[in-house]
Amino acid sequence: MQFGIIGSGTWATALAKILTDNGNTIHWLIRNEQLLNSIMKRRHNPKYLSAVYFNTSLLQLYTDVNEMLVNCDHVIAATPSAFIIDILQEADKKAFEGKKLISAIKGILPKDNMLLNDFLNITFEMPLSDYFTVMGPCHAEEVAAEKLSYLTFSGIDTLYAKRIADCFVTEYMNTSVNEDVIGVQFAAVLKNIYALGAGIAHGLEYGDNFLSVLIANCADEMAGFLKKAGIRNMEVGVHAEDQLTHKKSPNYAASVYLGDLLVTCYSLFSRNRTFGNMIGKGYSVSSAKLETDMVAEGYYASERIFSINKKVQADMPIAGAIYRILWENLSPREGFKQIEEVLI
């Protein structure tokens, strides 16, 4: 497999490390020519995960998306959701023919509140069978430190998803596979919203006891949304044997759902938690954006899920309060007083 990577941030750099550690040549789109030259000269990304050094003989770097796409057959999209459309719209209409795309994007596209697979189908006629996702729980900083982590690869063709996943197995990375390609994307979006809420709670000086209750209720709210949206795997304690791995099939307590929610809410590496913490301490949204200098997907996701849920009609008082804090100037203190009243 010839892998291409779109993105030069923290997560893209971590995925590049995993693949090259396994001896894979990667075709990496680095749109900033100065950054591209720096990576090739100094063998690391000076802006993100700068402690990770690369074997440059395994790096083929490009500033042009079409040139990169010609040279690979598997494309990993690893940019913030707000940026991917602008990049892909530069690609030729036939550029994805015969290729597989693996989405590492944990957000909803601003264009019509779509998931990436919908945009690819409309714009490039890519069938869902050629679309896969790679989700956590997995912080890039722990990948850089080679701390044991887990990735879940999803696709309706689970046998092919397993082939892709095998390319990412290292001494510090385990992988699993499921077919819930839509559900894992929504779960990744929702956990960022709830992590932002966990950060707000921390900034407001709520304690660990409250935070545990908050996250438990977030997990329940997330499962409720996914179930209303038609996603399976929402039954707790109900398993069938996976025909591919002969392991238990996933439910909502599996790592890609509950595990990713927990680590994003608790970890100090979580940019969404950090962003929320600043909001809870009294920063404005614009000030928090400037201070963090990274995209907190949960901020944009809260508005997009609020819009999507007008159709889904799930009961989402926690996500709704977080949306109003961020977008309608509800004070964090008042918003969390409202949340307190619905927790069980």
Average per-residue pLDDT for the chain: 92
* Cβ neighbours, 10 Å, residue 198: 29
Closest CA to 192 of 132, 260, 141, 251: 260
Confidence of residue 244 (pLDDT cuts 50, 70, 90): low
pLDDT score at 255: 84
| Percent of the chain at pLDDT exceeding 70 | 93
pLDDT score at 196: 96
- pLDDT of residue 294 exceeding 70: no
Global model pTM greater than 0.85 = yes
- pLDDT of residue 234 exceeding 80: no
Residue type for position 313: Q
More confidently predicted of 328 and 294: 328
Residue range 106-148, pLDDT digits in tens: 889 987 889 999 999 999 999 999 999 999 899 999 999 999 9
- pLDDT of residue 340 exceeding 90: yes
Which domains are seen in the chain, by residue range? Answer: 3-178 (3.40.50.720), 183-340 (1.10.1040.10)
Rg, the chain, Cα only? 20
- pLDDT of residue 293 exceeding 80: no
pLDDT score at 328: 96
pLDDT score at 112: 83
Name the 3-class secondary structure at 49.
Answer: coil
Residue range 41-64, pLDDT digits in tens: 999 999 999 999 999 999 999 999
pLDDT score at 61: 97
**Any bridge partners for residue 4, and if so which?**
27, 75
pLDDT score at 250: 66
CA geometry: angle at 263 spanning 257 and 264, to 5°? 85
pLDDT score at 277: 96
DSSP structure string for 194-228: HHHHHHHHHHTT--HHHHHHHHHHHHHHHHHHHHH
pLDDT score at 232: 72
Range 30-35 average pLDDT:
93
Confidence of residue 318 (pLDDT cuts 50, 70, 90): very high
Name the 3-class secondary structure at 7.
Answer: coil
pLDDT score at 231: 83
Confidence of residue 173 (pLDDT cuts 50, 70, 90): very high
pLDDT score at 107: 86
Range 177-183 average pLDDT:
92
DSSP H stretches of helix in the chain: 10-21, 33-42, 65-70, 81-88, 116-124, 140-144, 158-166, 183-203, 208-228, 260-266, 271-280, 285-292, 297-312, 317-327, 332-340
- pLDDT of residue 214 exceeding 70: yes
pLDDT score at 186: 94
* Distance separating alpha carbons of residues 25 and 5, to the nearest angstrom: 11
Residue range 296-311, pLDDT digits in tens: 889 999 999 999 999 9
